[in-house]
Structure 1
Amino acid sequence: MSRFDGYFLRQLLVLFGFFTLVLVGVFWITRSVSLFDRVISGGQSAMVFLEFTALTLPTLIRTVMPMAVFAAAVYATNRLSRESELTVMLATGSSPWRLARAVFLFGLTTGLMMAVISVFLRPASVEQLEVRQAEVAGDVTAQLLNEGEFLHPAEGVTVYIGRIDLDGTLHEVFVSDRRDAEDAVSYSSATAYLVNSDMGIHLVMVDGIALRLDKQGRTLSSTLFEDASYDISELTSTGAMARRSLEAIPTIELIQDRETIAAIEEFSLGQLVEELHQRFSWIAICIAVSLAGYSTLMLGSFSRFGLWPQILGAFTILVLLEGVRGFVSPVVIDDPRLWGLLYLPAVMGVFISCVFLIFAGRPLFRKRDPVGRAEPSPA
């Protein structure tokens, strides 16, 4: 690797890190607002929110990485062109193909990063996230410990708690159980406690009243009690976790046990094949978009005002590749034998880059004298 290749590669990697941080920050803020509201409103702590956020980062990074790679390639090439560094290298005899070596190494490096994220980290993080979400959904204690709100932990059940002391004492408790339409009952008590035992989770209410409505006799009976126990174990979601999503299936299982997964977890073979090759196609996309961004800008000549037409053209190519990728996925799901189509966007990006580099190395409109033709001597 020459000194210029190392210099160019360092510029690309620094800009890639910058654009990745910016894009991840923007997308993270957008998504974290709804996640924070959902987690905190469910009675969970800020640590649970941070844990969920960390588990969503691999998916978020995989989404923004191709855009960061493309932006780094375009920005670095435009800056080197604007500062005449590419012009000097071309004047010394280096061809656009020769200068593309650093860009290819950059795409290969980011592709290896994408391989670790897409093939290993993301499936593991999604699987752990789904497990934690199931655990949080079954944490009825956290769901109930919200002051001054009418909560609905289950269909037909309403719970209200006026105030919660630091020692866990609940005040102004109201519980309405309408799951049995013929035997609806409501409880109201001055104080209550949550008791977790081997028999389950119980809400022990002290000094209250129970109201029971008899619809047939159209009567409302009331019972005063000093203490009463209400079993809330049935309100928890401690049953078997729902089937895992496609994204949570480890890559090694998609390679070795597709037929078993399709039979047990009710996924079609096309869905499994599409998910497997989609993970690997992200690697090739990183190489393709880096070359596409560089080669498009190499079509322009030196200008102090930058290469804005070429930048717009490079962005158009990126949109085109993303559109093709979205188009081929349903086709592969319908017919898994066409899995090679998932790599079509990457192949198109590399092909377009090669064509542009050929044009950049041999401009069609450059005037050349025939080889061997002698200049006419002055009269």
Structure 2
Amino acid sequence: MLSQLLWLFGFFALVLVAVFWINRAVQLFDRLIGDGQTALVFLEFSALGLPRLITTVLPIATFAAAVYVTNRLNNESELTVMMSTGSSPWRLARPVAVFGIISALMMSVLSHVLVPAASEQLSEREVEISRNVTSRLLTEGTFLSPTKGVTFYTRAIGEDGVLKDVFLADRRAPEERVIYTAAEAYLVRNGDGTSLIMIDGLAQRLAISDNRLSTGKFQDFSFDISPLMETDDQIAPSLQYLRTDALMTEWEQVARDTGSTVGAVAEELHSRFARAAFCFVTAMIGFATLLVGGYSRFGVWREVVIAFLILIALDGMRSALSGPVLADARLWPILYLPSIIGLLLTSGLLWYASGGGARLRRWRRSAA
């Protein structure tokens, strides 16, 4: 039973990751390739985004595997045979519990190690790309705005890197507007800066105060575009980049270092543990709910729907409980409330399936 759970878990996880990744990759591909990046950069960004994506689909894949395996064993009467030979629901729940622990360990590795490291590396690569002048300007046939108040356009780019029919509008100064047009242009590295060398062009300057237009032709003109590409090379510290051991130190100090609040530190730390616990709960709820339904030739679709609704309710509770913790760090224990409620529901369902329901009915009849 454990081997079936793990095999189907891998299948569902692969399918769900592929579906979610395709949806995200379309937007990422359009943005990166449209900015002049290569396919290798697209693959790198996709790989760095996978750990966070997997944390989203892991509880769903765990729940789906538990429900599917339990439903199949129930339809083939294997659960009925095992229970008739003396195996209690608590005994049958052992492989599901082991499967839930394995899923929780996977979520722990992702939440505590891989997601922080991948998020930090992704931010570093985004900063590097934002400093890449070539990728931000060498896009032909498109009006680009590398920074606020500046518009750049080139009709075509030759194989030798020559920009054809260049248009550059500079509106950063409030007292004037300047437009440069040139037949050709080159991007030239000048030490740490970058210059745009325009050949055979026209410069037009409009003074806002008196609406006076001044024009001047030039054979060659150098325009320093380094200020247009200035970005903050330093990555702002974030809670998402810190490993769990760093979050376990003084919360006030971590909040000051990251520019956040103590409640945000508490929420980030305990939500990582709560996500792992929730993976275990999803497996147990899927198994226990279907086990209560027993064997039926009409299937156990009603129990599947009930289990799915329980999962949605618990997951919605997790999202709602983040707000109070962000406001008051002392309320961090409520983040584990969905998992605790799920475990109580699982215990009640297993007790009911092991004969608790029959004893309860006999008690009611005797009381009546």
Report the TM range for the smaller structure's normalisation.
over 0.9
Identity of aligned residues (%): 49
TM normalised by structure 1 equals 0.91
Aligned equivalents of 1:69 and 1:339: distance in 2?
25
**1:134 touches 1:237 (CA, 8 Å); kept in 2?**
no
Q: Bigger shift: 248-257 or 82-91?
A: 248-257
- Aligned match of 2:138 in 127, 138, 145? 145
Aligned equivalents of 1:335 and 1:220: distance in 2?
59
Q: Bigger shift: 120-129 or 204-213?
A: 204-213
Give the counterpart letter for 1:286 in structure 2: C
Aligned equivalents of 1:368 and 1:224: distance in 2?
97
What aligned pairs does 1:1-379 form with structure 2 within 5 A after superposition?
Answer: 8-241=1-234, 243-362=236-355, 364-365=357-358
Matched residue count: 363
Q: Bigger shift: 334-343 or 240-249?
A: 240-249
Q: What is the deviation of 1:365?
A: 4.2
Q: Bigger shift: 231-240 or 210-219?
A: 210-219
Note the residue ranges of structure 2 that are not aligned, 5 or more in a row: 363-368
Aligned equivalents of 2:188 and 2:357: distance in 1?
83
The SS at the match of 1:362 is: helix
**2:140 touches 2:157 (CA, 8 Å); kept in 1?**
yes
The SS at the match of 1:151 is: coil
Aligned equivalents of 1:115 and 1:231: distance in 2?
49
Q: CA RMSD in A?
A: 1.9
Give the counterpart letter for 1:51 in structure 2: E
Q: What is the deviation of 1:217?
A: 4.6
Aligned equivalents of 2:214 and 2:39: distance in 1?
44
Aligned equivalents of 1:190 and 1:367: distance in 2?
89
Q: What is the deviation of 1:143?
A: 0.8
The SS at the match of 1:153 is: coil
Deviations 1:212-237 (A, max 9, x none): 22344543222221111000001113
Q: What is the deviation of 1:105?
A: 0.4
Give the counterpart letter for 2:345 in structure 1: I
Aligned equivalents of 1:355 and 1:328: distance in 2?
24
Aligned equivalents of 1:349 and 1:217: distance in 2?
72
Q: 1:133 to 1:199 in 2, by over 3 A?
A: closer
Give the counterpart letter for 1:325 in structure 2: R
Q: What is the deviation of 1:342?
A: 0.9
Aligned equivalents of 2:254 and 2:276: distance in 1?
25
Give the counterpart letter for 1:258 in structure 2: W
Q: 1:308 to 1:272 in 2, by over 3 A?
A: same
TM normalised by structure 2 equals 0.94
Q: 1:223 to 1:305 in 2, by over 3 A?
A: same
Q: 1:224 to 1:296 in 2, by over 3 A?
A: same
Q: 1:233 to 1:303 in 2, by over 3 A?
A: same
Aligned equivalents of 1:305 and 1:237: distance in 2?
66
Q: Bigger shift: 44-53 or 216-225?
A: 216-225
**2:169 touches 2:178 (CA, 8 Å); kept in 1?**
yes
Q: What is the deviation of 1:259?
A: 2.1
The SS at the match of 1:323 is: helix
Higher Rg of the two aligned structures? 1
Q: What is the deviation of 1:172?
A: 0.6
**1:146 touches 1:161 (CA, 8 Å); kept in 2?**
yes
Q: Bigger shift: 227-236 or 239-248?
A: 239-248
**2:200 touches 2:218 (CA, 8 Å); kept in 1?**
yes
Deviations 1:49-86 (A, max 9, x none): 11111111000000110011011001100000101111
Give the counterpart letter for 1:259 in structure 2: E
